[in-house]
Structure 1
Amino acid sequence: MDNPKTIWEFALYGDIPAVQDFLKTNGDVNSVDDHGNSLLHAAVLNKKIDRLKLVKFLVENKADVNLVNRNRRTPICEAALEGHIEVVKYLFDNNADITIADSESVTPLFAAVSGNHHRIVDLLAKNGADVNIADVQGITPIHEAALKGNLEIVKILLDNNCDVNVKNRVGDGPIHNAAFKGHIAVVEHLADDNIHRSNDNGLTPLHLAAQNGHLDVVRFLVAKNVKIDVLSQDLVSPVFLAAQNGHFEVVKFLVERGASVDTADDQGDTPVIAAASEEHFGIVKYLVEKNADVNSVNKRGLTTLAHVVARNNTSMAKFLIEKGALVNDIVIEASILNKNVELVKLIFDNSKPNVGHLLVAARSGCLDIVKHLLSFGFDANARNENGLSPLHVASTSGCLPLVEFLIKNGADVNSATPEGVTALHGASTNGHLDVVKALVTNGADVNVPDLNRVTPLYMAAGVKEDSSAVVKYLVEKKARLDSVDTRYGYTPLMAALMTGNVQSAKVLIESGADVKVLDLGGNNLLHFAIAIREFDLVKVLVQRGVDGLGANQSGQTPLWIAEQTKQDEVVNFIKEQHANGCCCVLS
């Protein structure tokens, strides 16, 4: 603020002449700015050494020393926070109220603690300031001092009878704060009080020190005979937190002092699982070498090996397997999905693949892994219990190289599941044009229906995304335009309109699809087009003879639906076409 513009800015810079001129013309020494700050608030924040001079001038001119700003903060509270002890002394001597708390329940003493200003803390404490005042979070001055590691202030507060047993809103005492931040000197000073106490989450000072890697604090607390395997409400131990957060030296120290390496939390996670989940593999190796159970399983069914494999660490996976880690389906699938051929080979050197694993590999699209699994003797047409083959899965995923490889190795392009679904259905549904072409080129039947008489063209048309390229290709390959499914009586064109696939609908109409067909509910194509508010399609359909007054089985006509949904443009168009003698007959 190089160029002060308001009187409060002049006061902030200690410009006494400017303030004097203001008072001469205005007369109100307690004028406030938009934030409720008075001239005295600004003056106490003056960065110049002679700030006291302006403060005295204002007080002598009847400035209210207890005026609060919008945050309910007084001038003495601001001065205490900034560490301006000479201002604090002067204001106190001139009747500043040191009990007034701001909107967050912070008093001048609390502010001085926050600012690490021990002389002000001492001054205020000796003059009756409440040393146990709590802010809105239940934090007291000694909590704050412990959190900041200010031993001198901690001693001052204790000398003035502060409550060392006080808890904040989560049950932390001052020693919890000091341990959390690693302030060893404060921890040592407070150690005779509540060293074993847990907070509302069951966390002790040892938990917090271990969690944050404060080895010196951990050493001190253990030397004080705290319980080394103490558990929180979530059944978390100190060594668990150290492992989870990657603090190797703390883990090592606690284990050497007898900490259990296998105690699980309420989710079934052990220290070694916790370390693996956070990729602290040095700790994983250490704990396993200290006989941690490599096959412990958490409530999600995950082992240490599962976490390691999910994080694509081949060398650590090899280490765990050598130490007896078992390979299960979760581990196998994780290795495949990572598309790490070396890791997959390691896993299958220690397990037997099945068709399900082959399908996972096909879904991942990793050709090399599929090749490796086929080397175990699987047929390219192997199926799982649902009748899915690798070609089904690869086609649905859109992996052209894998599709071509499977076809080359004998995969049946027309193989269907018990529901009649083929690879072409899957590729068409997902808009994989290149895969669709590869399948059709190699003999896939473009008109093959599933058990509900749904064809690949129907599937391509009935998706929300623009699949018009696939639709156009299938039509060119003589896919039947007007095949009808058995569930709703829909044609591919109806399926396109039902999902709002306008471009595919246009392709089908232009290709000669029957526009006068009705579904099982008696709906014609205008019912569908109006439902998705596609006026351009409405015009095309009306002009091609679709009846705007044709009622469905519920008695609803397209015109009635347009009126009910306030599509005035559609309503007017249908009526105009009738007036011109087109398709509709109004009663």
Structure 2
Amino acid sequence: MYRDEDELLTAIWNGDVQKVREIVTSEEMPISLMRLNKDGWTPVHEAAYYGQTDCLKLLLSAVPTMINTRTNKDQTPLILSVSKGHLVCVKYLLEKEADPKIPTKTNETPLYEACATNNDQMVLLLLRNGADVNQKCLDRWTALHESVLQNNLEICEILVAYGAQVTSSNIFGVSPLFLAAQYGFVEAVQLLVKNGADINSEAIDGATALYEACKNGYYETVEFLLSCGADANRPGKDGLLPLHIAAKHGHDGIISMLIMGTSRTKIWFSGISPLHLAAENNEDEALDLLIRAGFDVNTPLAPDHSCMYEDRRTTALYFTVANGNIESASMLLLAGANPNLDVFNPLLLAVRQGHLKMATLLMEHGANVNASIPTHPTTFPACVMLSVGNLAMLKRLMHYGVDASACFWCKYGLKQHLNNDTTHSCRELQYSPEMATNSCLQFCEMVSHPSVYRWAGSTIDLLLDYVGHVTLCSRLIEYLERYEEWTYIKEKSILPQHLMQLCRIRIRQLLGRERLKSISTLDLPGRLIKYLNHEQEDVL
């Protein structure tokens, strides 16, 4: 503590010029009054910070060498006064040759502070007194970067008039134009482009101003950039084009602007269609717009994109099914999407999710009801395994022609079965490389698994309605005999089938799986149609 320290500071804070004069003139060596506090501040810093110009004049007249003294953070009296907007105080400091180029420890300059506080008069004053308009702050940030971020067009114009480099970029390659586009400040974009900003400059991640404006949905900014020749076919380091990113975020108006100027070849080389991104993110309107623009709904993901998903999905349709998005799936299917292109059939995914409406939609458009899982082979349709416990789903699958007879084929027949511990829980099943197995799972092994056994009886009962004469294998017979309430199911398989049942099965076989959905259009009595569709048990 120096003598009269508290008294001097109090006088400065209160703007008591007379008291400050008394204290300063009473000292034989006024420099003794300028000791640093714990933060490195002196009375000169205090006077500058609080804008007490007259007090500052007294202090500096007594100790003029203190004008550029720095605090522990390298703050000068000038930058402290600028940060608080004390214009008169700043004028005096500059007249006394305060250095406007001295930065703080974080490289912030007085000019940066003036821009950060949107003080255009302060900016002009500093520039007229030697401030470096292009001096770099932290991370190579400039005053122009900051004024653009503040969307202060007037200060931007002042800086540009004093020679601010519109092409400067920070350590991340971000230019003032990039910032303006990122935040949709279209007037700042126009100013920068007018003054020579590189419209196609890239940040370190490869993103351009157009890319950022598309990502954030700034229609006017995108429109202006395109009118000035911004390249719509320049991808970021992620390989995505502006159209991709607009589709991903559902910016329909921007998509419309970009479609004509985006190269389909460039999209193909990217390995991913905008349709995939719109579908993945449930952007239905964007998806519809792209479909109407003629994008191929069956374009597959490139392997390097597909491998990023555990299920190795490849189509836009798969994304909509995974999301349970009926509307998007309908759009794609009506546009000609093939539901049988993915490794793990989308129908199997819908069945596994228990999404009856989605499964029906897919089957209506030709999804393969007898599809298998390549990494987990079965001797029967995989959808049967995935629908165990969901009789409504299983019945709908049967309606569309699932091969129920395959469920009753068994390599052991009436012989004793070998134990098989390789089966997976069908309720947990999904496509993944880890599922690979050398064995081929049989229906009898699946339904006797502990995870599904409680649904075995009802499942077998339903399947028997869709087959002719079948012989249950020893495992199914043994299993049905364990439970008294399932005795009738065993008897159902042994008793001769009714002629009507055999006729129904034969008619459905002759129609073929692809035409089963057309049964209701046949010129037959309504009760017979219902019988053929298993909607009633007889036609009498």
TM-score range, shorter chain: 0.5 to 0.7
Q: CA deviation at 1:129?
A: 1.3
Question: Taking structure 1 as reference, are residues 259 and 88 closer, same or farther at Cα in structure 2, changes over 3 Å only?
Answer: same
Contact 1:314/1:343 (8 A) holds in 2: yes
Contact 1:12/1:45 (8 A) holds in 2: no
Output the amino acid matched with 1:309: V
Q: Is residue 2:240 matched to residue 1:187? A: no
1:128 to 127, 130, 140: 130
Question: Taking structure 1 as reference, are residues 392 and 402 closer, same or farther at Cα in structure 2, changes over 3 Å only?
Answer: same
Question: Taking structure 1 as reference, are residues 36 and 398 closer, same or farther at Cα in structure 2, changes over 3 Å only?
Answer: farther
1:209 to 203, 206, 213: 213
Match of 2:145, SS state, is helix
Aligned to 1:494: none
Q: Is residue 2:37 matched to residue 1:32? A: yes
Give the TM-score of the pair, scaled to structure 1: 0.60
Output the amino acid matched with 1:351: A
Output the amino acid matched with 1:239: L
Question: Taking structure 1 as reference, are residues 439 and 78 closer, same or farther at Cα in structure 2, changes over 3 Å only?
Answer: farther
Question: Taking structure 1 as reference, are residues 442 and 53 closer, same or farther at Cα in structure 2, changes over 3 Å only?
Answer: farther
Aligned to 1:361: 386
Alignment map for 1:261-410 (pairs within 5 Å): 263-264=266-267, 268-298=271-301, 299-300=305-306, 301-327=313-339, 328=342, 329-349=344-364, 350-353=366-369, 354-356=371-373, 357-358=382-383, 361-362=386-387, 366=390, 368-375=392-399, 376-378=402-404, 386-388=439-441, 398=451, 402=455, 405-406=458-459
- Range with bigger deviation, 78-87 or 152-161: 78-87
Question: Taking structure 1 as reference, are residues 42 and 214 closer, same or farther at Cα in structure 2, changes over 3 Å only?
Answer: farther
Contact 2:181/2:210 (8 A) holds in 1: yes
C-alpha offsets along residues 552-573 of structure 1, whole Å, 9 cap, x if unaligned? xxxxxxxxxxxxxxxxxxxxxx
In 2, Cα distance between equivalents of 1:157 and 1:333:
62
Q: CA deviation at 1:117?
A: 1.7
Question: Taking structure 1 as reference, are residues 164 and 127 closer, same or farther at Cα in structure 2, changes over 3 Å only?
Answer: same
Q: What fraction of aligned residue pairs are identical, expressed as a percent?
A: 23
Output the amino acid matched with 1:252: S
Alignment map for 1:53-72 (pairs within 5 Å): 55-56=56-57, 59=60, 62=63, 64-72=66-74
C-alpha offsets along residues 523-566 of structure 1, whole Å, 9 cap, x if unaligned? xxxxxxxxxxxxxxxxxxxxxxxxxxxxxxxxxxxxxxxxxxxx
C-alpha offsets along residues 96-127 of structure 1, whole Å, 9 cap, x if unaligned? 32222122221111222222222111111121
Question: Taking structure 1 as reference, are residues 410 and 282 closer, same or farther at Cα in structure 2, changes over 3 Å only?
Answer: closer
- Range with bigger deviation, 340-349 or 285-294: 340-349
Structure 1 gap ranges (5+):
1-5, 417-422, 424-437, 444-587
In 1, Cα distance between equivalents of 2:442 and 2:45:
77
Contact 2:144/2:156 (8 A) holds in 1: yes
Q: Is residue 2:13 matched to residue 1:14? A: yes
In 2, Cα distance between equivalents of 1:279 and 1:405:
37
Aligned to 1:102: 104
Aligned to 2:88: 86
Contact 1:201/1:233 (8 A) holds in 2: yes
Contact 1:30/1:38 (8 A) holds in 2: yes
**Number of residue pairs aligned between Structure 1 and Structure 2:** 413
Output the amino acid matched with 1:91: L
Question: Taking structure 1 as reference, are residues 161 and 289 closer, same or farther at Cα in structure 2, changes over 3 Å only?
Answer: same
Give the TM-score of the pair, scaled to structure 2: 0.65
Contact 2:182/2:209 (8 A) holds in 1: yes
**CA root-mean-square deviation:** 4.3
Alignment map for 1:192-271 (pairs within 5 Å): 192=194, 193=196, 194-255=198-259, 257-260=260-263, 263-264=266-267, 268-271=271-274
In 1, Cα distance between equivalents of 2:135 and 2:463:
80
Contact 1:104/1:135 (8 A) holds in 2: yes
In 1, Cα distance between equivalents of 2:43 and 2:15:
11
Structure 2 gap ranges (5+):
307-312, 374-381, 411-422, 424-437, 465-471, 486-540
Q: CA deviation at 1:314?
A: 0.7
Aligned to 1:433: none
Match of 1:196, SS state, is coil
In 1, Cα distance between equivalents of 2:11 and 2:331:
66
Output the amino acid matched with 2:137: D
